[in-house]
Amino acid sequence: MNCRYNIQPQLRINQTPSKPEKQKEHLILLWSRPFGEEFPLNQCPVSSYGDPCIFTDNRSFYHLADAVVIHHREVSSSKLLLPPSPRPEKQYWVWFNLESPSNCPNLNMMNRIINLTMTYRADSDIFTPYGWIERHDGTKLFSIPAKSKLVAWVVSNWNPNYERSKYYEDLKHHIDIDVYGRQHMPLPKANQSFILSKYKFYLAFENSRDTDYITEKLWNNAFLSASVPIVMGPSRENYERFIPQDSFIHVDDFSDAQQLAAYILELDKNNEKYQSYFRWRNVFNPKIPNDWSTFYCKMCKAFKGAPSYRIISNLEKWFTTSLSSK
């Protein structure tokens, strides 16, 4: 995987490549930017990643790229949206996806063409979670923001058939829940953390229960806002692979929504017990990617130690099969 090219950062698709010069960096092409979002390329710190990769979204460099990162959402509707074949010899195609299997149409289209996986699943070639925890020096104790409200939920993708929607409909009969998002109360992005920090609890309900699928609902909406997350997603055991067991409440710990509501009300009256859900913050800090560059920098580091060139024969089966059933 030797890259031999020197190009200017962030070359655009309508520019013509200049004659490449020999270099030791890897040339990595972003076939499309996730959701069309703009963000700076070539920002990976040399101290952390060694000689940085050279990133470009200029498709004119396709035949020179050592790797092409394919974000699933932008190509999923048709094979015609994929990079052209035949591909350059030994060029790596990297499948990048942060959505759950149920939100990834046409997964079978990726069979027998992908070389490396880059997802939130811990068994990916390049592990790109929505967040993680890091130990800090412990010199400053965590301070819980003042709380004046009980439970909040932010939901924009409202679907009455989702398990989380049905559970909410039951839970709201037993406790008050403030709901934000599309079709509900507005929540300005700039004030989101401040508003949610007023709540003691946050419903971090995922839209599906899939292996390692733990999203911004926990990391940004709950942990960043310092509200205790009440989670619905993969199993408690799965969550505990990534976060402390006393940092969250899992709906599966209760026989029904009424029992969960009773426990929430108990914690609301018992301040010492409630505060116990924040003790882990005196040892760890949640870390959340600032933008897409964080993921691509991880890809750069992992790519330099990537496994020998191989084709993933059945990506669909791998991604839709839970670790517990393997």
Q: What is the pLDDT of residues 206-264, one digit of tens each?
A: 999 999 999 999 999 999 999 999 999 999 999 999 999 999 999 999 999 999 999 99
Output 323 or 256, whichever has higher pLDDT: 256
* pLDDT(65) > 80: yes
Positions marked catalytic: 99
Least confident of 4-13, 171-180, 238-247: 4-13
pTM (whole model) above 0.85: yes
Alpha carbon distances (Å) from 246 to 8, 217, 277: 48, 18, 6
Output the CA torsion 215→220→224→226 (10° steps).
Answer: -70
147-159 pLDDT tens trace: 999 999 999 888 8
C-alpha span between 87 and 71 (Å, rounded)? 17
List the one residue out of 319, 306, 289, 290 whose CA is nearest residue 69: 306
| CA separation for the pair 103, 168 (Å, rounded) | 21
Residues 111-131 have a mean pLDDT of 96
What span, in angstroms and rounded, lies between the C-alpha atoms of 300 and 309?
A: 16
Predicted pLDDT of residue 129: 97
- Set out the domains of the chain in order of their start, with CATH numbers: 27-128+291-325 (no CATH), 133-287 (3.40.50.11660)
Distance CA 154, CA 185 (A): 9
Q: Residue 259 is which amino acid?
A: Q
For residue range 276-318, list pLDDT tens digits in order: 999 999 999 999 998 899 999 888 888 777 778 899 999 999 9
Beta carbons within 10 angstroms of residue 205's beta carbon: 23
* Mean pLDDT, rounded, for 136-164: 92
